[in-house]
């Protein structure tokens, strides 16, 4: 961008400039998680976990703790990065887990649909 054109991308609030860093399109097909959760396959297991995240409570806390433990183990093995501090949580873990779970669910269902159409 040339000159002052970048100023159109931000807003001054309280003496500080704020900018939009990125837009994320989270639009996706609506899935009936309750219906999908009633089965006995991997899709049902994933749907039950996604429902648990939405509902909160002990089941959601357990999922978050398991995911955090796995990420800590990966971070500890990554020599260049070292150990991640516990208090450094820039993102809501429920949002991240739900987004990842829904992405996987969509991929599994799309593959199943492809198999049916063959």
Tokens of 95: 């949002």
Residue 13 lies in a domain: no
Residue 21 located in a structural domain: no
Q: Which of 52, 51, 92, 86 is nearest to 71 (CA)?
A: 86
Residue-range definition of the domain harbouring residue 113: 31-117
Asked if the model's pLDDT at residue 107 lies above 90, the reply is yes
- 97 lies in some domain: yes
Q: Which of the 8 DSSP states describes residue 83?
A: P
Q: Kindly report the length of the chain.
A: 118
Residue 44 lies in a domain: yes
91 - beta bridge partners?
none
In the predicted model, is pLDDT for residue 15 greater than 90?
no
pLDDT for the residue 79: 62
Instruction: List pLDDT tens digits, range 53-103.
Output: 999 999 999 999 999 888 888 777 766 655 555 555 567 788 888 888 999
Dihedral sign (CA 56, 62, 63, 68): positive
Identify the pLDDT of residue 40: 94
Is residue 11 one of the residues assigned to a domain? no
**Strand ranges (DSSP E) for the chain?**
10-13, 16-19
Tell me how many domains the chain contains.
1
* Distance (Å, whole) CA 56 – CA 99: 15
CA nearest 17: which of 25, 30, 26, 8?
Answer: 8
Whether 48 is in a domain gets the answer yes
Q: Is residue 105 part of a domain?
A: yes
Please give the pLDDT value at position 88: 52
| Across 35-63, average pLDDT | 94
Structure tokens at 12: 């001054």
Whether 45 maps to a domain, the answer reads yes
**Banded model confidence at residue 21, pLDDT cuts 50, 70, 90:** confident
């Amino acid at each position: 961008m040339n000159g002052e054109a970048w100023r159109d991308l931000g807003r001054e609030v309280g003496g500080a400039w704020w900018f939009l860093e990125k837009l994320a399109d989270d639009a996706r097909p609506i899935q009936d998680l309750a219906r999908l959760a009633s089965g006995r396959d991997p899709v049902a297991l994933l749907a039950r976990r996604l429902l648990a995240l939405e509902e909160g409570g002990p089941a959601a806390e357990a999922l978050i703790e398991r995911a955090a433990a796995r990420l800590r183990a990966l971070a500890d093995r990554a020599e260049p990065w070292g150990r991640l501090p516990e208090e450094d949580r820039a993102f809501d873990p429920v949002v991240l887990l739900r987004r990842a779970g829904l992405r996987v669910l969509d991929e599994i269902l799309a593959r199943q649909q492809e198999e049916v159409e063959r």
